[in-house]
Structure 1
Amino acid sequence: EFLRLWFKENCNPYEDEILPAAPAELVTELAWRYVF
């Protein structure tokens, strides 16, 4: 959910042809929380 919200705030996933990469820190933190 948090990753979806980040994309919603930083681009338009329905209209943008190229989406920005999510920050590595955010992906790492969310992955860590998902595992534990």
Structure 2
Amino acid sequence: MEKSKTYSLPQLPYGYKDLEPYMSEEQLKIHHTKHHQ
């Protein structure tokens, strides 16, 4: 049986606020920290 592989999210090369007004800070935080885990 194969062992579980762990995956960690890489740091974003920009801040959560840097995509405003196209994507809100809250949306990006949720997408990066919750959706991808």
- Greater fraction of residues in helix: 1
TM-score normalised to the size of structure 2?
A: 0.31
**Structure ID, larger Rg:** 2
- Please give the TM-score of this superposition, normalised by the length of structure 1: 0.31
